[in-house]
Amino acid sequence: MKIPKHVAFILDGNGRWAQERGLSRSKGHEEGYKNLRSLSKYILSKGVEVFSVYAFSTENFGRSKQEVDALMNLILVGVKKYAQEFAKENIKIVFSGIRNYPLPKDVIDVMNEVEDQTKENSRGIFNICLNYDGQQEILDASNKIVEDVNNGILKLPVTKEIFNKYLYQELPPIDLLIRTSAENRLSGFMLWQASYAEFYFPKTYFPDFKEKDFDMALEEYNKRDRRFGKIKEN
Ligand code: FPP
């Protein structure tokens, strides 16, 4: 069985999961978070080295204040719990996104603390995209590159390898990208890193996507013929 090195997840369908049960949307995010905790451990235990998740997009700030506040609180408490558990598991936690307003200050502080606490961990990486937009990530990298070229720190031409170092985090390309809840879109998620990713779009809402569902995704991934633009050799 081939194990993808980098698995990325768009955690979708929490709201619909809750609404179908007559619960608040925030309850759906809570269930999604609970599920993510067990699923992330399982995925990293399978030998996946990098696990990325879309926890909050820059556009998500357009949701109701009630939902945004509840999500920020869930993320704040959740990241702290993750830090305790992953410190023992030798997993490094990193964040991608704009680490600035409108993210609350206590969330930004925890992001910085947790990255610092886990920076020496070497078994795997958990990359949390928070206040994230993939086009903005590419623009931010481009602007930093221009600055470094202007200051004589960097010489042209910029290669893909160099560009990758200017992104929010230097990560390997995504091999398997999963978006739950039957939505077949990227919504600006890790556009640079997803260039050759295999896409998997199960119908399941995220709170219901369990270990066996990930095993099915792995089986499907193993059936895919990844040619990277080349012709298959016999
Ligand atoms: C999309 O579902 C999900 C989100 C906007 C939030 C996902 C975040 C978490 C589960 C918390 C993660 C926490 C940590 C610490 C990493 P949706 O609300 O768009 O669902 P819908 O499309 O059914 O409305």
Ligand 1 centroid distance, CA of 17 (Å)? 11
Q: Which residue has the higher pLDDT, 232 or 219?
A: 219
Task: Determine the Cα–Cα distance for residues 52 and 190; give it in Å rounded to an integer.
Answer: 9
pTM for this prediction: 0.96
**What is the rounded average pLDDT of the residues 57-86?**
96
Query: What own/partner pairs with CB < 8 Å and gap ≥ 24 does 221-228 have?
Result: 221/2, 221/4, 221/175, 221/176, 222/1, 222/2, 224/198, 226/196, 226/198, 228/196
Distances (CA, A) of 150 to 144, 145, 146, 158, 163: 10, 8, 6, 13, 16
42 φ/ψ sector (left φ>0, alpha ψ -120 to 50, else beta)? alpha
| Percent of the chain at pLDDT exceeding 70 | 99
Given a contact cutoff of 8 angstroms between Cβ atoms, the answer to whether 14 and 207 are in contact is yes
**What is the rounded average pLDDT of the residues 105-110?**
98
pLDDT of amino acid 233: 63
Task: Determine the Cα–Cα distance for residues 115 and 58; give it in Å rounded to an integer.
Answer: 21
Task: Determine the Cα–Cα distance for residues 172 and 16; give it in Å rounded to an integer.
Answer: 32
Task: Determine the Cα–Cα distance for residues 118 and 102; give it in Å rounded to an integer.
Answer: 25
Q: Does the structure show a pLDDT above 90 at 79?
A: yes
Summarised one tens digit per residue, pLDDT across range 16-48 is 999 999 999 999 999 999 999 999 999 999 999
pLDDT of amino acid 124: 96
In short, whether 78's Cβ falls inside 6 Å of ligand 1 is yes
Please state the separation of Cα 16 from the chain's center in Å: 21
Summarised one tens digit per residue, pLDDT across range 172-208 is 999 999 999 999 999 999 999 999 999 999 999 999 9
Topology adopted by domain 6-221? Undecaprenyl pyrophosphate synthetase (3.40.1180)
pLDDT of amino acid 153: 97
In short, whether 217's Cβ falls inside 6 Å of ligand 1 is no
For residue 93, which of 44, 47, 57, 143 has the smallest C-alpha distance? 44
Side-chain-facing half-sphere of 185: CA atoms under 13 Å: 4
In short, whether 124's Cβ falls inside 6 Å of ligand 1 is no
Ligand 1 centroid distance, CA of 84 (Å)? 22
Options 14, 35, 60, 234, the catalytic residue = 60
In short, whether 207's Cβ falls inside 6 Å of ligand 1 is no
Catalytic-residue membership of 140? no
Q: List the domain boundaries for the chain.
A: 6-221
